[in-house]
């Protein structure tokens, strides 16, 4: 009986996953929706205009890090940051440590992305032209290594 239920659940999940629609891009830049019933339709009716400008030209080179022209750092959770203030482990404290370790100014440290919880966090920065990873466990801030 258990085997029959397991086979039925696997069969239903397989059918569910096989019915996905896919979006593909044509050579001229238009997006096409490929449906599960073997039909298709254009998502973008007009072809995108390049105007001779490539996407790379909108990037600013900060040493070895490429940032968009109007780059805005991601917002952190204010409740978590308020709790970290007492232990001196807020993002401003982390940026000061990153700047000190990489021998640069705090203004040259940019937060690229993060994964943050109350107990631990992982931050990815662009500091002094190179990408660095820092971890926070509780109120302790350490440089992320490849082993851990």
What's the pLDDT score for residue 57?
43
Neighbours of 37 (CB within 10 A): 8
What's the pLDDT score for residue 50?
52
pLDDT for 21-70, tens place per residue?
A: 778 888 777 888 888 777 888 886 665 555 444 444 445 555 567 777 77
- On the CB side of 1, CA atoms within 13 Å amount to 0
pTM: predicted TM-score of the whole model, two decimal places: 0.56
Structure tokens that stand for 31 in this block: 């997006």
Q: What are phi and psi of 17, to 5 degrees?
A: -75, -25
Closest CA to 136 of 103, 106, 92: 92
Domain boundaries, the chain: 2-47, 71-143
What's the pLDDT score for residue 21?
74
The answer to whether residues 141 and 98 touch, using CB atoms and an 8 Å cutoff, is no
Sign of torsion over alpha carbons 9, 14, 19, 24:
positive
The answer to whether residues 134 and 94 touch, using CB atoms and an 8 Å cutoff, is yes
Structure tokens that stand for 67 in this block: 């940032």
| DSSP letters for 99-131 | HHHTTS-GGGEEEEEEEE-SSEEEEEEEETTEE
Written out in words, the top-level CATH class of the domain with range 71-143 is alpha beta
C-alpha radius of gyration, the chain, whole number:
23
């Amino acid at each position: 009986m258990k085997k029959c239920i397991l086979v039925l659940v696997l069969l239903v999940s397989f059918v569910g996953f096989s019915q996905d629609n896919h979006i593909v891009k044509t050579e001229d830049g238009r997006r096409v929706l490929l449906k599960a019933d073997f039909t298709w339709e254009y998502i973008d009716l007009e072809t995108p205009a390049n105007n001779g400008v490539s996407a790379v030209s909108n990037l600013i080179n900060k040493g070895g890090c490429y940032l968009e022209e109007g780059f805005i750092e991601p917002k952190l959770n204010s409740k978590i940051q308020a709790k970290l203030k007492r232990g001196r482990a807020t993002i401003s404290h982390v940026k000061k440590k990153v700047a000190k370790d990489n021998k640069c100014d705090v203004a040259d440290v940019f937060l690229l992305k993060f994964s943050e919880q109350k107990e631990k966090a992982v931050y990815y920065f662009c500091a002094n032209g190179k990408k660095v990873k820092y971890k926070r466990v509780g109120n302790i801030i350490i440089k992320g290594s490849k082993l851990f």
